[in-house]
A and B are shown apart, each in its own frame.
Chain A
Amino acid sequence: MDSLIVVINALPAIAAGGVVTVGTVAVSLALGFVLGTPLAVCQVYGCAAARRLAEIYVWFFRGVPILVLLFLFYGLFIALNLPAAPFLICSVTLGMTSTAYQSQIYRGAIQSLPKGQLNAARALGMGDKTAVACIILPQALRLSIPGFANEFSILLKDSAICFVLGAQDIMARAGFVAARTHEHLALYAAAGLLYFALTHIVVKLLLRLERHFRIPDYAVEGGGRS
């Protein structure tokens, strides 16, 4: 029973950590979306040099563990005299990693569209930029929602290591209370459940979003690790 009381007492702190966690993930996802979309377009339609650069970016961020990247960015922030706030470093690191993963989702979706779509847009006199922005992306992004939901749940779980840089997220708060009360099992179980619940709630919401935007009888892509 003691452990239950400890958990209940710790709930406000853990919830405050939840706000930090969700904030970090939201900023990272947004950054990943803003940078990942052009990166995907560049990988499909860019010139050879741009494609090569995009490939190297994706290769790097997909090949290096988040934990290593966090410390690397910490070092870079210090070296470049940027403000070394944990929230900022974590969001940028997760965001740039997510950029790599999200670009792969959008690239796959763009490539799954029939060739005729771009040709039809060109035949109507659209420039390539207009065609991609008005015809290709609206279709590709719809197809990407399940992949995006996947990416969210991966990112949420990855964000649980941000405490190593001092971010005051769920894990940091749970760990702090655990260190004082020695109720590690109860507190980490509570943290785990919170992550579990957050994943499921947001993924449900995103899939509802997908149904909202779904075009009847339109094929949908999915898959990947979640």
Chain B
Amino acid sequence: MMADLLRVEGIGKTLGGRRILNDCALSVNRGDLKVLIGPSGAGKSTLLQCINCLIPPDEGEIWLDGERLDRTNSAELCAFRAHVGMIFQDFNLFDHLPAGENVAIALRRVRGFSRAQARERALTELARVGLVDRAHLYPAQLSGGQRQRVAIARALAMDPRVILLDEPTSALDPELVGEVLSVIQELARGGMTMIMATHQVEFARVLATEILFMEHGVIIERGAPEALLAEGRASRTRDFCARLAEFRIND
């Protein structure tokens, strides 16, 4: 019906009597990097989790490659999630498995790879994020930045058509942010389709194909970064980013 890779429309969610999301719509084309920006509690994270139904949306429709997702069909939902990678703010590596197994387990148990195939693929993906020599280490033995890179490798191993990134650098110490951002930058340059919530404005300015600004569960502005963040432009996005920058300096 349309050329968009992933498209969501009319997503709404009410939790505990509070309206968290209201009529959110977005679509991504192959190779897009869409960045969600907005204050904490704006609903960025909820929107991302609604897109792969970790939080089932109350209303709205989701299409992947023009096919509408039937959320009530659990097999279809699992297959959909296997095609949509997710990176969490707090990594969520499987605590009982070493890095290599973290990447391999879904290949084996979801995609049906043999142990050897999965292992080989896991090492390839770990090499891609520069951690092939850490495959035998457990999550607790890795730094925050390394953990997030393993999480990215774990998502990549599933050959996702699109990756959702939920503030991937927010839980990291400042000196570790760079190593994760540079991996994401590599992916963007390589043409990976991504939707990312972040507070890294500079990163968004340089790499985003579109910025979506969210507040109170609604996407209130959207546009190319050069348009939204242009000098002298009176946009909510620009105000917010300016305040973020000010805060950084005062820090």
Chains A and B in contact, CB within 8 Å: no
Binding site for A on B (CB under 8 A): none
Task: Enumerate chain A interface residues (CB-CB to B < 8 A).
Answer: none
